[in-house]
Amino acid sequence: MIIGFPTLSSSAKQGELGVALVARIASDSFGWLFKRNHQEHDFGIDGQLEVVTDSGAVTGQLLAMQIKCGRSFLQEKNKWGYVYRGELKHFNYLSNYPIPVLIIVCDPESGECFWVRFQPEQTQTTEAGWKITVPFENRLSQSKAALLALLPPPADTLAELRAYWALNKMIVESGHVLFVFDDKDVLSMDTSRPRAFFDRLRSTKELAYECQGKIEFSISGYDNDPRELFEIPEVRRYMAALEAALPELLFFVRTEQPTATLRLFALCLTTVSWEGERSTRTVTRRVIFETEMVGTFFMRQFPGLNAMAEWLGMSIEENKRITYACFRCLGFNPPDSDDA
């Protein structure tokens, strides 16, 4: 008996041996990294395997492991493999783990390790917990390809993002951005493209702030139609759908002249008539519209503008500047300041 000293139990020795066996296979057979979990943070996961490519690139792809070592874990068998019995306290933890979990049993005499991916639907209930079969053929030292198949191919996100960043930079550096719809968009009533574009502009606060007041809309495909766009029923319906899909419209819409986007929205969403004869390609006539309906349009859009301003931490003065610029686009004359 050793008095006055802590002792290393036989089960702890076996556990360390199992970890050492798996770490050696990961390093020598796969060329991967093995990361041991601190024991005080071991809630059923003993470590993680991190994938390294043949060229030495550390991909960030991970596999988690619960490692058991000892002849006792290899004694119970069925026709297909070793029967591993787990505790209920680990079941939900393993089920919710965000990366694939491997159950690994190690033979301390041969040094061979066998594995199975923990999947709840492949387990069976027992009186004391649950069990799963670890296939005889799943020898860890020979399973590099099988383990890689559990993970998606490593993505070259940087290469994909370079084009994304380049377009964002172009948008920021542009005086304004022209977003063009065609008659197919209008007829299908599909607002997904502009909605996705506005989502892109909102991907960061920095990008959203830089794009305030830059977006101009244009509709193509009606050049041979003698009617104005606001006279075409399907265009009017589409602009109504577009307004509903883009609550941030007043924040992003271009207000610096020349611009026609807000006028198109307003004319499509109100009752419109001509003062006398309608315009032609050579003669411009006045358009009469109901200002009350324009006011209703603004009231529907103000919450979206206010939400954007609040998200970006903009001042009341900045919010007013945007609001007044939108009013001026429709021919209204708001005060230049609160004192005016």
Considering the domain architecture, whether residues 305 and 183 belong to the same structural domain is answered as yes
Considering the domain architecture, whether residues 162 and 142 belong to the same structural domain is answered as no
| Residue 7: per-residue pLDDT | 56
Do 66 and 18 meet the contact criterion of CB atoms below 8 Å apart? no
Considering the domain architecture, whether residues 169 and 269 belong to the same structural domain is answered as yes
Is residue 65 in a domain?
yes
Length of the chain: 340
Beta strands in the chain (DSSP E): 33-36, 47-52, 58-69, 81-87, 101-106, 113-117, 124-125, 129-135, 177-181, 215-219, 272-274, 287-289
Considering the domain architecture, whether residues 56 and 82 belong to the same structural domain is answered as yes
Range of the domain at 66: 10-148
Considering the domain architecture, whether residues 135 and 230 belong to the same structural domain is answered as no
Sort strands 101-106 and 113-117 into parallel, antiparallel or unpaired.
Answer: antiparallel
Is residue 198 in a domain?
yes
Which of 148, 182, 209 is at the close of a domain? 148
pTM of the model: 0.71
Q: What is the CATH number of the domain that holds 40?
A: 3.40.1350.10
Which of 122, 148, 174 is at the close of a domain? 148
Is residue 3 in a domain?
no
Considering the domain architecture, whether residues 290 and 196 belong to the same structural domain is answered as yes
Considering the domain architecture, whether residues 288 and 306 belong to the same structural domain is answered as yes
Residue 31: alpha-carbon gap to chain centroid? 32
Considering the domain architecture, whether residues 51 and 162 belong to the same structural domain is answered as no
Is residue 5 in a domain?
no
Considering the domain architecture, whether residues 88 and 68 belong to the same structural domain is answered as yes
Rounded-to-integer distance, Cα 327 and Cα 313, Å: 22
Rounded-to-integer distance, Cα 116 and Cα 104, Å: 7
E strand or H helix that includes residue 295: helix 291-311
Considering the domain architecture, whether residues 41 and 168 belong to the same structural domain is answered as no
| Residue 54: per-residue pLDDT | 92
Is residue 338 in a domain?
no
- Per DSSP, 333 falls in state -
**Phi, psi values for residue 279, rounded to 5°:** -70, 155
Considering the domain architecture, whether residues 325 and 183 belong to the same structural domain is answered as yes
SS3 content of the chain, % helix, strand, coil (to 5): 45, 20, 35
Considering the domain architecture, whether residues 141 and 193 belong to the same structural domain is answered as no
Q: What is the DSSP string of 103-153?
A: EEEE-TTT--EEEEE--GGG-EE-SSEEEEEEETT-BGGG-HHHHHTTSPP
Do 106 and 68 meet the contact criterion of CB atoms below 8 Å apart? yes
- Which structure tokens are listed for 312? 């970006």
Per-residue confidence in pLDDT tens, the chain, 340 aa:
566 656 556 666 776 888 999 999 999 999 999 999 876 556 789 999 999 999 999 999 999 999 999 999 999 999 999 999 999 988 999 999 999 999 999 999 999 999 999 999 999 999 889 999 999 999 999 999 999 999 999 888 888 889 899 999 999 999 999 999 989 999 999 999 999 999 999 999 999 999 999 999 999 999 888 888 888 999 999 999 999 999 999 999 999 999 999 999 998 988 877 777 776 667 777 777 777 888 899 999 999 999 999 999 999 999 999 999 999 998 888 876 554 4
Which of 113, 148, 183 is at the close of a domain? 148
Say which residues have a Cβ less than 8 Å from residue 198's Cβ, sequence separation at least 6: 246, 248, 252
Is residue 174 in a domain?
yes
Classify 73 as helix, strand or coil: helix
Identify which of 243, 289, 234, 293 has the alpha carbon closest to the alpha carbon of residue 265: 243
**Total number of domains constituting the chain:** 2
Is residue 239 in a domain?
yes
Is residue 238 in a domain?
yes
